[in-house]
Structures are given as C-alpha cells and as structure tokens.
Structure 1
Amino acid sequence: MSKVLIVAGDSRGLADCLLEAISQSDPLTEVLICGVSDLYSGAIADGGSIVCPLTLDVPSDLVFPGQDVFRFGANVVAARDRVAQELQVPVGDGNFWLPVVLTAKGPLYAEAIAAESDKLSGELSYRQPLHLSDVWRQQLYELAFGLLNLLNAPPATYLMQFGFVGERICFDRLLPFPAAPAIASVGVQVPDLFVCHWYCLTNKPIYDMQITSWCS
C-alpha cells in the first residue's frame, strides 16, 4: 500500500479535492494531509511517501519530483524574465488559466479556465470552459509546450496563468499543481484536474479529457 503526503496551503479545499481523487482511484492508499508549518517545524517526515504539494510555499529542503519547477513558479518576477528572454513571449498580469496535463507520453491540453467576480460580494469563482479561438489556442499550446520543455518538467497537472496583449498571449505565471482554478473542472471535466494530477504522479495513462455535455 502506497503512502501519500499532501502538503496543503491556505485552502483545505484543494487538499480535499485531491484526497477524493486518490480515494476514488486507489482506495487503499494511505493519505496524510499536513500544513506547511508542520514541514517547517519538522513535525512531519515524508518517510518515502509520494509528496504532493498544493502550494508554492514549501521548504527548500523538501525533496520531491518537480521541486525545481516549484521554485520557478514561486519567483514570479524571475519566471517572467526568463520566459520573455528565452521564449520571446510577452509577459504581464492575467486572469485566465490553461490546464496542461503532462503525462509520461506528452502533454494534454484541457479547456481554459476564467475567473469571475460576484457583482455583489466580489467573491472570486472560476468557470470552465473558456471558449477561445483556434489562433489563441495555438499560441497557448506552443507557449505551454515550450515552457514545460524548458523547465524539464515532470509529469503533473500544471496551470499556466495568462492574459492578453493586443493579439498575443502574455505569460503571467506557472502553477505546478491543480491550484484553486482547477476546482472549476470538478463535475465539469472528465477526468477532472485533480484526478489527472494523481494519474500523472503515479504514471497511470490518460487518453482523453472531455467536458461533460450538460456543461458545454
């Protein structure tokens, strides 16, 4: 029986979504959810577990596949500079996300996600799918492929945050895990982004992703 250590950030909701995905796929897997403070205090030792951080705020000495990509994602200014210099892509703020499910055999691109703010409360929510033209899609796919290749990124679910500058896509940041916008995929995309993340981490095949007909 495998063991999993989910490192939760400020939102326990993400950890619960990943826990549900693991339980559905591998019900005998032992899962421990801990906070970042537990890691910093030394209260938690991974003990050979599969480490699944759901936050960029992880100790520098925490060893897990993708730790270099997490460092890249945590330093937004340096990440934008590198993308601008090495990939020749505009950079800036954005409120859209392209989910990239990077399997061992290559990337699968899910439908984009948009942020929406409630007019009364101002509370932020997320919507999938965001319909984009083929031109926008092609730019996004090329950028995501080039970026993950540049970083030698391991299999996982990534959210590439982006915006628009005129007729071009601009890069905002990279989240190397199913962050808050991924919740929009639950009940909408099959398999959802949390299931995809678990499949990537455990080298299970993913052949396709679909938006359910009642949400399309």
Structure 2
Amino acid sequence: MSKVIIIVNAQVDGGKICSTAPVAEIMAIALKNSIMKDNKFHEVKIISAADLWSRSLNISQQDEDIIYFPLTIKLPEWFNFPAQHIYFACRDLEKRRKWVQQHFGYKTSKDNLWLGDLWLPIIFSGEKFIYGEIIGEGVIPNSYQQPYDYPSQLYSPLQKLGGELLKSIQAIPSVYLLQFKMLEQDIIFDRLWPFPATPAIASINVQQPNLFACHWLCFNNQCPEIRVLNLKDKV
C-alpha cells in the first residue's frame, strides 16, 4: 500500500478543505476518487501548501512509498519531489514565453495583458501525447466549459506548440494545460500548467476518464482512452 499526498492551495483542517475553497475541494476529491477507484488500498491524504511553506507538517521526503500530487504551482523550493523540475520550469513564465516567441513567433501574454482564457489539455502518457477538447472560461467566476467551440483549422498549430513545449521542458507523464488566448486568428501563448489546474473541473462528467483520472493513470504509465460523453451517457 502506498500513501498518496494531494497538495492544494487552500486551508485544510483534519484532511477537510475549507468551505471557502470549493474549487480546490472539487479538484482534490476528483483526484482522490480516481486513485481510490484504481486501488482502494492506497491511503490518500489532502494537505495545504501553506502548511508545507510553514513546515508545520512532518513530511518525510525520504519515504519512497509516499507519492506527491501537488494541485498547486506555489511550492517551496526546498520541497523535493519527482516532478519538481517540471513545476519550476512551468513557474518561470518569462522563460517559457521567450521560448515560444523564439521557436514559434507567437505573441505572448505580458503582465495583465492578453491573459489566457482558453486551455488545451495535453495528456502525456510517456509514449504519446493525447490532446483533449478545448476548455473555455465561463461568464461566472470559476466556471468552465468543455468542449469549447474552437476553429478546427487552428487545432494542428496549437497541438504542435503544446507537444514541442512539453519536449522542451523534458516533460514527464502527466496531464498538462496549455493556457492561451485567441485574438482573431492569432494564438497568444500565456503559460503551461504541469497538472490538471482549475479549468480541468470542466472535464468532470464530460470526459471519460476525466482529466484528474488521466493524471493518475499517466503517473502509472497507462495510456488513457478518452471518450467525450454525450447527453445519453450522462443520464
């Protein structure tokens, strides 16, 4: 039996996420349910990133049976886990944006200008890239839509950008979200998330397996078979 620790950007008390962070709770529960469905003998614990920063938790990073799944990019540099270099690479927004400018010639977000409101899920199994349906931001805060109506002729350049970007950071099996914006027919690159970030909640009850389940499957070197559910499937 392995111990799985899910790290969230929210207050956690006794393993329960604070009611003021409902999205973090949805994300964590979706990942936890996926893990338990795959192997009910895993022990899954949810902790706060803030407790990690304050070192108020007794975390043993030497225990090889502990698996860490951070659902936040805000992690202390001393916290060592297998995907640490990927998280740090994605956190360096300026470097990633310069890379995209140099290799693809796309415009990129800067400060609060052209912030991305679209996300391309990239499921990397270790053997191949699987591209999910585009996720779009809704009018209500923390509301997202999948699939989003996106011009079909722009899928190919967007997927190429995502694949090459992952190769450039020596990506490991995981679910990534490529955040971008469209200005007419122009792709504006914003950033890359190294885990199923907040917009991934749109995949719950829309995609089978959802992006959080895919995240777990990729960690176990499995290649998910994606199916978009229709209204009949959801009933």
2:124 to 67, 90, 102: 102
| Bigger Cα displacement from structure 2, 20-29 vs 76-85 | 76-85
Q: Is the 8 A contact 1:163 1:171 kept in 2?
A: yes
Query: Per-residue deviation at 1:215?
Result: 8.1
1:203 aligns with 2:221: yes
Post-superposition CA distance 1:61-87 (Å, at most 9, x none): 222222122112223233212321244
**Aligned equivalent of 1:14:** 27
**Aligned equivalent of 1:141:** 159
**Aligned equivalent of 2:193:** 175
| Counterpart-to-counterpart distance in 1, 2:78 and 2:104 | 29
| Counterpart-to-counterpart distance in 2, 1:176 and 1:39 | 19
**Aligned equivalent of 2:38:** 25
1:115 to 137, 152, 171: 137
| Counterpart-to-counterpart distance in 2, 1:155 and 1:191 | 16
| Counterpart-to-counterpart distance in 2, 1:156 and 1:33 | 19
| Counterpart-to-counterpart distance in 1, 2:193 and 2:88 | 10
What is the SS of the residue equivalent to 2:179?
strand
Alignment of 1:35-46 (within 5 A): 35-42=48-55, 43-45=57-59, 46=61
- The alignment covers a number of residue pairs equal to 211
What is the SS of the residue equivalent to 1:124?
coil
Identity, in percent, stands at 33
What is the SS of the residue equivalent to 1:100?
strand
| Counterpart-to-counterpart distance in 2, 1:102 and 1:209 | 12
| Counterpart-to-counterpart distance in 1, 2:172 and 2:154 | 25
| Counterpart-to-counterpart distance in 2, 1:36 and 1:65 | 17
Post-superposition CA distance 1:33-57 (Å, at most 9, x none): 1111222233131433111110001
Post-superposition CA distance 1:129-155 (Å, at most 9, x none): 013233211111000001001111000
Instruction: Name the Cα RMSD after superposition.
Output: 1.7
Q: 1:124 to 1:37 in 2, by over 3 A?
A: closer
**Aligned equivalent of 1:83:** 100
Amino acid at match of 1:94: G
Q: Is the 8 A contact 2:9 2:50 kept in 1?
A: no
Amino acid at match of 2:71: L
| Counterpart-to-counterpart distance in 2, 1:131 and 1:5 | 36
Query: Per-residue deviation at 1:58?
Result: 0.7
- In the superposition, the TM-score normalised over structure 1's length comes to 0.91
Gaps of 5+ in 2: 11-23, 110-114
Runs of 4+ in 1 over 3 A off after TM superposition: none
| Counterpart-to-counterpart distance in 1, 2:123 and 2:58 | 29
